[in-house]
Amino acid sequence: MFTGIITDMGEILAVEARGDLRARIGTAYPAAGFEIGASIACDGVCLTVVAKGEAPRNWFEVDISAETLSKTNLGLWVPGRRVNLERALRVGDELGGHIVSGHVDGLAEIIALAPEGDSTRFTFRAPAALAGYIAPKGSVALNGTSLTVNEVSGADFGVNIIPHTKSVTTWGTAAVGDTVNLEIDTLARYVARLAEWNA
């Protein structure tokens, strides 16, 4: 489990097609601080560390299955690309965002950007099948970042991203037309399932 509070911007160092896709990610996390088999959210996708090292910088490797590639934007990973990283939640950690599983539901597209005070208003278009799970003042995880929904209009929804978030995540370089990993709020998923069951 994760919180959607990004703690590092990693860098894709290498991508190799094997049976699955293998990616090496450079990180500020000390390699000695996590074990093989640990879970790290990479742009919101929960991935398992399968190798790690410290030279010439700290890095870890993950395998990405065809199923994950079909549901996420990880197929766009190339060397040099920056990615949002978050270590798995530990008992006693501060829950600063919201409960995030790292299981991406689909892709949302950035359809507009506009300055709003010191912040930036992002407008996204969600897949039609997921739009009903997104509610004003509810939470979503976008590329692993916990964000509050400001407004919803059909499949479109808006969020504000403050300067701090833009400086410590990949949102500082996001552009109209980009696709981002969308995970709907777990609570919304269960409420919808309960309503369906009782219908």
Q: With 0-12 CB in 10 A as exposed, 13-18 as middle and 19+ as buried, what is 81?
A: middle
Under the banding of pLDDT at 50, 70 and 90, the label for residue 190 is: low
Cα–Cα distance between 10 and 74 in angstroms, integer? 14
Which pLDDT value is given to residue 45? 98
The whole-model pTM stands at: 0.92
Which pLDDT value is given to residue 55? 87
Whether residue 99 lies inside any domain: the answer is no
Whether residue 118 lies inside any domain: the answer is yes
What average pLDDT score do residues 51-75 get?
Answer: 95
What is the domain extent for residue 123? 106-198
Give the containing element (helix H, strand E) for 86: strand 82-87
Which pLDDT value is given to residue 89? 79
Does 136 share its domain with 191? yes
Q: Is 101 left (phi over 0), alpha (psi -120 to 50) or beta?
A: alpha
- Residue 67 has which token pair? 């199923």
Does 68 share its domain with 149? no
CA distances from 42 to 7, 25, 194 (A): 11, 9, 30
Give the distance between the most distant pair of CA atoms in the chain: 58
Q: What is the DSSP string of 97-136?
A: S--B-S---EEEEEEEEEEETTEEEEEEE--HHHHTT--T
Q: What is the CATH number of the domain that holds 40?
A: 2.40.30.20
The answer, yes or no, to whether the previous bond of 30 is cis (omega within 30 of 0) is: no
Whether residue 95 lies inside any domain: the answer is no
Which pLDDT value is given to residue 85? 98
Whether residue 42 lies inside any domain: the answer is yes
Reported as a single tens digit per residue, the pLDDT across 82-112 is: 999 999 977 666 667 788 999 999 999 999 9
Under the banding of pLDDT at 50, 70 and 90, the label for residue 69 is: very high
Does 33 share its domain with 70? yes
Which residue among 55, 87, 119 closes a domain? 87
Which pLDDT value is given to residue 176? 98
Q: How, if at all, do strands 145-148 and 139-142 pair?
A: antiparallel
Which residue among 87, 118, 140 closes a domain? 87
Whether residue 94 lies inside any domain: the answer is no
Report the number of distinct structural domains present in the chain. 2
Whether residue 72 lies inside any domain: the answer is yes
What average pLDDT score do residues 34-61 get?
Answer: 96
Does 75 share its domain with 115? no
Does 180 share its domain with 135? yes
Which residue among 87, 117, 139 closes a domain? 87
Does 79 share its domain with 158? no
Q: What is the CA radius of gyration of the chain?
A: 17
Does 63 share its domain with 19? yes
Q: Decide if 6 contacts 85 (C-beta within 8 A).
A: yes
Does 79 share its domain with 110? no
Q: Which residues contact 43 (CB under 8 A, 6 or more apart)?
A: 72, 73, 74, 83, 84, 143, 144, 170, 181
Whether residue 98 lies inside any domain: the answer is no
Does 113 share its domain with 145? yes
In the chain the first and final C-alpha atoms are separated, in Å, by: 31
Does 143 share its domain with 171? yes
Residue 196: is its pLDDT beyond 90? no
Average pLDDT, the chain: 93
Which pLDDT value is given to residue 199? 67
Whether residue 35 lies inside any domain: the answer is yes
